[in-house]
Amino acid sequence: MLRGACTTILSMASPKRPRLQLDIPIPIRNRAKAVAYARNMSLVELVLRALSKEGDKELTKLIEKDLEERTERGRPQK
């Protein structure tokens, strides 16, 4: 049953923005969300910023470009 649910969720993602799932315990996820919220970020933005600090110049450039182009947090306004 979970397999079908995952397929549905993944099929909703844009072909240019595939989804990434992390297998982490709920307490870690909850704490990471709290840290992101305290820094006025989304969890995705927190993870991307952490990845950009790994020292790869091309990865950092791609992440910075993506973060600049991202819409604001929350539901999109019509």
Q: Does residue 5 register a pLDDT over 80? A: no
Residue 52 lies in a domain: yes
d(CA 30, CA 2): 21
Whether 21 is in a domain gets the answer: no
3-state SS class at 40: coil
Q: Is residue 20 part of a domain?
A: no
Number of compact structural domains in the chain = 1
Q: Render pLDDT for 18-27 as a digit per residue (tens, 0 to 9).
A: 888 999 999 9
For the segment 31-73, what is each residue's pLDDT rounded down to a tens digit? 999 999 999 999 999 999 999 999 999 999 999 999 998 866 6
Residue 54, in any domain of the structure: yes
**61 token code pair:** 């450039």
Q: Which of 41, 31, 35, 32 is nearest to 73 (CA)?
A: 41
Residues of the domain holding 48? 44-71
Give the per-residue pLDDT at 70: 81
What is the pTM assigned to this prediction?
0.68
Residue 27 lies in a domain: no
